[in-house]
Amino acid sequence: MFGQRRTLCKVVDISIHGARLQTYSGMKKGSTIWLSLPHVGHVAAEVKWADDFVAGCQFQRPLDTEKFEQLLQTNGAVKR
């Protein structure tokens, strides 16, 4: 699809409603992104704010709570 590109990012904070990302390329407020999360799969999100190489996004649908708990157990460093 036109305009799609892949980039690496690190989830530094997450909740069932959204995430804060550390990125390696700039993101644009209002754009739709897809995140690939362990135990959850691909999740669509809207970039709500972006500043240099940090961005905040809101998931289009809240994460399933059971899968979210699995994600937290696997990646103990992420916050709620």
Q: Is residue 57 part of a domain?
A: yes
Q: Is residue 34 part of a domain?
A: yes
Amino acid 3: pLDDT: 53
Average pLDDT over residues 3-25: 87
pLDDT for 24:
86
Q: Could you read off the pLDDT of 15-72 as tens digits, one per residue?
A: 999 999 998 888 899 999 999 998 889 999 999 999 989 999 999 999 999 999 988 8
24 domain-assigned: yes
> Where would I find the H helices in the chain?
65-74
Residue 36 resides in a domain: yes
Calculate ∠ Cα 77-71-38, nearest 5°: 110
DSSP character for 40?
T
**Structural domain harbouring 30:** 9-74
Structural domain tally of the chain? 1
Residue 79 lies in a domain: no
Instruction: Give the CATH number of the domain where residue 54 resides.
Output: 2.40.10
